Structure 1
């Protein structure tokens, strides 16, 4: 019995995780300057793992895992004796037709092999026929069908001149899974069955196993392919070790707007396999002097192709704490209910393309001395609602030294579910296009180059719920959060990641240059509509689970900030601890 062995481990996978941008390119929806700061961010960042670089990265010493068949099948090289002048008629017979049966793939290639053999309407030896079936078997092997092969059908009367070659295409007889904990077998089995459809192909199975390796649900995956009960059948033995499902963390940073208190404490919890379906539940709470923010989301796979259904809820309650506004008690309440579908159309360890469709119900209330009050155009009695359809397209491609990631998203505000509708030209009906692009290049085994660009474009005047924000840790460092808030805008970043310790992930220095510009459609543009900065960041893994980040940006455009907060002096810092 032949066996095929393959071992995959998270630490020995085809991906070497390279620590890149701690803050992915984000386009934020923020309020107009004369309204309350909104601390929400629309779910439109570049996918969370475009920063994975394939295993053949020189920084990694491990080899890409492959499946091999010890000894192979009988497909020895041979020569067809088609020279009619050199023959022994006693050993030969005349061939009128050659039939190949049992094959469901490679039809055109097999026809070509038969044609090129030049055996039809000639005399041939039995060795010639063995050679022909060996060439067909070799074709299957070359195409990755390592458990398929061809043989001469039994009980043939070759004197009639009709030759039948039988192809047996490999298939899985069974999948035996061990090592699963809380995760249901159906989750793993359905994905393996996709990768091992008949005829069984080594390359497809290898790709399917590699996708399991990079799945955060698994720590290690071991596979053994053995012969089944009948010819061409196989049994796939899978042994897995599940990764830790539960995670929790706490943190402190100054990533919020100074007007509501820039220093934020936060706690987050997540479970990647809550009910055993590979479903994920996450929750986060953040608090500043003037802000309470709650985020919760639940995502469940709905097919074996990694399509997911997501539900989300976000709420923020904020109040202005700046001395000049504190006495008049300006407050805001914002809620977002979301549902989304995401479906990969193509997915491999090195490339994926995903379509997404979502619906958000967004609600905001603003108050002055506990009474509803409208601070900007389009808001009615302190209320602004938006019902938004979002259609997104995500693409990621990775190779040995680079990662390319792009996202396009169309946001359509519709007149439904009590969306704001008025005659001011600023309401809940709008069309927005958002685009994002990220390029990561490994300049040397230890130095990475990162380029990011993103933007929002619309012909409409927008409610503050959907505006574009510039300034802050994720959108031009060196300026305070929400420095510029406009209908449309563009931002970009160029950055290097330079390790300064032997372990490249322990301590990194990150010089950067960033810029952003924004504009309005109906309202006047900001006095300073373009901002830019140069600066230096630092990422320090103090110990396992404890990470300190600091960025200093030197503003190149003076915006005359009056405050003296860390942000307004160009600093963004965070300390996060995730024990598990």
Structure 2
């Protein structure tokens, strides 16, 4: 029996040495692999099959595994891994299986720089010892950054701090958070440290100067105004070396500088994985669009948003929760809009709960935006101002607005694009909160915001050609032709009605069109978009079902055509 133990002890000593050598060989070989699985597989195979076969018939009892060197797994997790390999009449194969299972438990838990070995030992009393070598970070460096603070990058990837055993699911989340900034890409590279079992990490940075600007010239005008607009935006995305973003925007009418003037400012602060955004708009226009913000009203808006990225079950899906409030102070309008009966000043404070989701698949992308807006007179709202602005309007109001977009790649690189938007409410809204249709983003062939309503919907379908840039010069990065169909519906609750139809408010609009488009994206952020539309349907009816005797100002009619254009740059 003593002789058998000596042979077993010798074999365990040999296997332990080979385990360490083999693990460090794999360590050096896999250091150049992707950061997602930089050292996956260290120590997962230990030579010794021949020795195991020799003693396959030599059995001994195993009543306990003593694990040394662990600081990251719980006792329960360790027991779960080795429990199947306890009992009487066990062999050296069972010891190896226990070692492998325990090591696999570390890896499945996300600790990929940890491996397990079998130390030299005597098997006494049914106790087997296993040693855990935790691959801690010996040195962390940031290389290649030109415009971003090295210390700030280190602070945002705390899982790679020196002396720490990295948990790779957390590493992936922290790297993804750092890489949200479009001007900076950080990739971790791991290699063996100078000390056995230790790891050195380089955070390689590929960054660009975080200043962005855009300019656009278009013909997105509203009734009774000049026919072109010039808009621009300037944004810096690394203020204070803290990823703070500050931006300024404007929109003017080049043909008459005093006709439309809209200025906006934004400030975004990242905080603990979330974002705080503040913005302000000063508008001298009844209806305008500055960037992604549509403004209905002549006055000032000051807003605050809290944006919380929510956990996602898959990498291809991300979604955010948004909470916000806007202080809106509108002056007298230059014309009556929507269902408004007056153009008197109005001040109120609406709140917003929003949800945004994006799903990116190999052949499709889907985006959903939902916003629930509500307001109450308990704060700054005044019932009298609402009543003077519109018949039956109240300072307590709410509505739900949303939009769903889907792009699908067809055979031969054709694309289908669909968009469905809408708004529902049980209240009579002032024009500043109504749903509008008409224009480049809703129903082409009509002027911008040709019709407004309390509830409504808009539908867009496009068939896009395969990429055609190969037929143009090398400066063209993407070019497609497209055919489209647009539809819009808007309805007003409780419109003001009189015996003479000429004085009654329009209750319902139905607009539709079809046409062809050309979309070009060129070098240096240059872009050109042309859409030629023909009006298919244009109707406006009163509550009694009659067509309104007076056509709304600037309203296109069936058979009318219009060319929408925009040209500019975005970098």
**TM-score, normalised by the number of residues in structure 1:** 0.75
Aligned residue in 2 for 1:129: 95
Q: CA deviation at 1:421?
A: 1.8
Instruction: Answer yes or no: is the 8 Å Cα contact 1:93–1:159 preserved in 2.
Output: no
Match of 1:114 among 60, 78, 82: 82
Bigger share in helix: 2
Distance change in 2, residues 1:417/1:139 (3 Å)? closer
Q: Distance in 2 between matches of 1:68 and 1:396?
A: 29
Q: Which moved more, 1:558-567 or 1:226-235?
A: 558-567
Q: CA deviation at 1:72?
A: 3.7
Q: Distance in 2 between matches of 1:379 and 1:6?
A: 70
Match of 2:469 among 501, 505, 519: 501
Instruction: Answer yes or no: is the 8 Å Cα contact 2:60–2:88 preserved in 1.
Output: no
Residues 191-214 of structure 1: CA deviation (Å, up to 9, x unaligned):
423689975355654565466556
Do residues 547 (structure 1) and 527 (structure 2) align?
yes
Q: Distance in 2 between matches of 1:195 and 1:473?
A: 48
Q: Distance in 2 between matches of 1:488 and 1:426?
A: 14
Q: Distance in 2 between matches of 1:379 and 1:233?
A: 75
Do residues 223 (structure 1) and 193 (structure 2) align?
no
Distance change in 2, residues 1:394/1:541 (3 Å)? closer
Q: Distance in 2 between matches of 1:252 and 1:486?
A: 28
Do residues 516 (structure 1) and 481 (structure 2) align?
no
Q: CA deviation at 1:66?
A: 5.1
Match of 2:324 among 358, 365, 368: 358
User: How do 1:201-216 residues align onto structure 2 when only pairs under 5 Å count?
Assistant: 201-202=167-168, 205-206=171-172, 208-209=174-175, 212-213=178-179, 215-216=181-182
Match of 2:355 among 372, 388, 393: 393
Q: Distance in 1 between matches of 2:483 and 2:418?
A: 12
Match of 1:75 among 18, 41, 45: 45
User: How do 1:379-528 residues align onto structure 2 when only pairs under 5 Å count?
Assistant: 382-415=344-377, 418-422=380-384, 425-444=392-411, 446-498=413-465, 499-502=467-470, 505-523=477-495, 526=506
Instruction: Answer yes or no: is the 8 Å Cα contact 1:207–1:349 preserved in 2.
Output: no
Match of 1:302 among 248, 251, 271: 271
Match of 2:311 among 321, 346, 350: 346
Aligned residue in 2 for 1:317: 284
Q: State how many pairs are aligned.
A: 500
Residues 54-91 of structure 1: CA deviation (Å, up to 9, x unaligned):
xxxxxxxxxxx8544498424248779999x9734xxx
Aligned residue in 1 for 2:510: 530
Do residues 558 (structure 1) and 538 (structure 2) align?
yes
Q: CA deviation at 1:353?
A: 1.8
Gaps of 5+ in 2: 1-23, 288-295, 497-504, 540-550
Larger radius of gyration: 2
Bigger relative contact order (CA 8 A; separation at least 6): 1
Gaps of 5+ in 1: 9-64, 321-330
Distance change in 2, residues 1:202/1:376 (3 Å)? closer
Q: Which moved more, 1:311-320 or 1:398-407?
A: 311-320
Q: Distance in 2 between matches of 1:238 and 1:332?
A: 49
